[in-house]
Amino acid sequence: MTPDTVGLALLLLGALLLVSKLVRVGWKLPQRLHLPGSVIGGGIALLLGPGVLGRLMGWLSDRGLGGGLTEGLSRGGLFGPDVVSVWSALPGLLVSVVFATLFLGKPLPRFRESAVLAGGNLAFGVTVASGQYVIGLLLALLVLAPLFDVPVISGALIEIGFMGGNGTAVGLGDTFDRAGWAEGQDLALGLATVGLLSGIIVGVVLLNRGVRRGASGFLGSGTGRTDKERAGLVERGDRSEGATMTVHPSSIDPLTLHVGLVALAVLVGQLILTGLRWLERALWADAVQVMAYVPLFPLAMVGGALLQLLIGRFDRGDVVDQKTVERIQGLSLDLLILTSIGTVPLRGITADLAVFAILAVAGILWSLCAFLFLAPRMMPDQWFERGLGEFGKSLGITATGLAMMRMVDPEMKSSAYLAFGYKQLIFEPFFAGGLVTAAAIPLILSPHVGPVGFLAIMAAVLAGSLFTGLFVLGRGRRR
């Protein structure tokens, strides 16, 4: 991969965002669906990339149609494999930038406020994740193993594919091989793809349903809005400054200063993560590893909080401008969503179609029911915005949850982003590719635990998180 390729990939992202804005302005359907430009751009990239156009050209090339043109397009679609590989690496980097900016330029919340804010999200996330194991194992024991002759470890595929995503499914390849069921990885990869796409598609349906019913506090139904407002344009009389010049450009450009602060916050998070992993290896890594499963972005959020603590104590000139930080955050979020959707690996399932369909439908229905019936009761404050982000996460990677929150709260005024970030700091080491995800298959195969034992453990976790979310943190406590 050359520097020219990286530069071309970034330029094409800018062009795609511009095209997506023109689509939003000129087409009524995205306006009615409240689709942001990043989601539209991601859809365009997916259609013109290797996922759709590339596969179509590969199908034509295999049949001798189109000659060298179809063969060339089959490898990377219109953009080429090198550009797509650059895009594939960006979401993991940009998600840390998004979370590092959550506290910069803002007053820090108190610990009690943070705990209360994250509690509902954490209870909901643990409920959905443990429920995915309970539903999957019940299906495996009662339906899949007896009727389709697949191993009972198939009961772990919903959480691995949906919550863990493609990265977790790939990382567990050796585990599936040692279990003697290599086909399980293909099913997990397929579930990861279906989960991410269904998280976006079903999430858009839920978003518009909620907006029509008045559940959203940050999106109107469109009634009484002007054509410009529906197109995402700001009327001349309503325009405000997007940033404030807090330093003179003769010393350093204000945007450069704030980019440096965000970069420092991410670096602080990386130092914290590296230190915690070193401490774990030195003290107790032989017994159990937790920090090895913690991603960078929650600690980048901690790094931003620590940096803001220092800024609030020593910055007497108020050089940190919240609006500038929000513009950096918005750009990173747009690029993250576009590249996440545009690089979805559309994988075909050639075997065990019935098993795949049963697990996929069960997983989607569980997330849907959890959003509709549990989210309003576990997260009574701004439940729609917070619940929609958790719904996206329950079916896909973190970027899916962020995409949902971007749609329902485009100006990031709700508490959804902060609550999501706090929750991920505790949730990620265990579920969604963490310790529980990594240990699930070995424990199911273990003679000491087995599928019934692991089912009992997850059922107990599910009952505990349901009780905590509904009666300790949610509406039951208030009543």
d(C-alpha 40, C-alpha 25), whole Å: 12
Are 21 and 70 in the same domain? yes
C-beta separation of 422 from 114 below 8 A: yes
- Residue 140 CB neighbour total at 10 angstroms: 27
Are 8 and 44 in the same domain? yes
Which of 328, 363, 392 is a domain's end point? 328
What pLDDT does residue 432 have? 86
Distances in Å between the Cα of 71 and the Cα atoms of 56, 343, 380 are 10, 20, 53
Per-residue pLDDT of 57-113, as tens digits, reads: 877 777 766 666 677 777 778 888 899 899 988 988 898 998 899 888 877 777 777
Helix (H, G, I), strand (E, B) or coil at 289: coil
Which of 281, 298, 328 is a domain's end point? 328
Per-residue pLDDT of 220-232, as tens digits, reads: 655 556 666 666 6
Which residues, 6+ apart, have CB-to-CB distance to 15 below 8 Å? none
Are 467 and 401 in the same domain? yes
Are 351 and 465 in the same domain? yes
Per-residue pLDDT of 420-431, as tens digits, reads: 888 988 888 888
What contacts 24+ positions apart, CB below 8 Å, involve 111-116?
A: 114/418, 114/422, 115/422, 116/473
The answer as to whether 323 is a domain residue is yes
d(C-alpha 479, C-alpha 476), whole Å: 5
Are 189 and 323 in the same domain? no
What pLDDT does residue 479 have? 45
Residues listed for the chain: 479
Distances in Å between the Cα of 210 and the Cα atoms of 146, 404, 429 are 40, 13, 32
C-beta separation of 16 from 338 below 8 A: yes
Measured on CA atoms in the order 194, 199, 200, 203, is the torsion positive or negative? positive
Both tokens of 253, joined, read 């450009």
The domain in which residue 54 lies consists of: 3-79
Residue by residue, DSSP assigns 392-413 as HHHHS-HHHHHHHHHHH-TT--
116: left (phi over 0), alpha (psi -120 to 50) or beta: alpha
pLDDT at position 455 over 80: yes
Both tokens of 214, joined, read 């008045």
d(C-alpha 428, C-alpha 312), whole Å: 29
Which of 270, 300, 328 is a domain's end point? 328
The answer as to whether 105 is a domain residue is no
Are 149 and 281 in the same domain? no
Q: Label residues 176-207 b or e (16+ Cβ within 10 Å = b).
A: beebebebbbbbbbbbbbbbbbbbbebbbebb
Task: Map tokens 């009690």 to a residue.
Answer: 112
Are 348 and 440 in the same domain? yes
Both tokens of 172, joined, read 């567990």
Are 203 and 169 in the same domain? yes
Are 322 and 397 in the same domain? no
The answer as to whether 233 is a domain residue is no
Whole-angstrom Cα Rg for the chain: 23
Secondary element (H or E) of residue 457? helix 450-467
The answer as to whether 92 is a domain residue is no
The answer as to whether 60 is a domain residue is yes
Instruction: Please work out, in degrees rounded to the nearest 5, the angle formed at the alpha carbon of residue 45 by the alpha carbons of 297 and 198.
Output: 65
Closest Cα to residue 98, out of 370, 460, 375, 406? 406
Are 217 and 349 in the same domain? yes
The answer as to whether 7 is a domain residue is yes
Per-residue pLDDT of 14-60, as tens digits, reads: 999 999 999 988 888 888 888 888 889 999 998 998 878 888 887 77
d(C-alpha 221, C-alpha 230), whole Å: 10
Q: Give the count of alpha carbons within 13 A of 83, CB side only.
A: 20
Residue 236's pLDDT band (boundaries 50, 70, 90)? low
- Residue 65 CB neighbour total at 10 angstroms: 11
d(C-alpha 416, C-alpha 121), whole Å: 9
List of E strands, 51-132: none
d(C-alpha 84, C-alpha 52), whole Å: 13
Q: What is the dihedral of CA 97, 100, 104, 109, to 10 degrees?
A: 150
The answer as to whether 103 is a domain residue is no
What pLDDT does residue 193 have? 86
Are 37 and 168 in the same domain? no
Q: How many domains does one find in the chain?
A: 3
Average pLDDT over residues 227-249: 70
pTM, to two decimals: 0.84
Are 353 and 474 in the same domain? yes
The answer as to whether 282 is a domain residue is yes
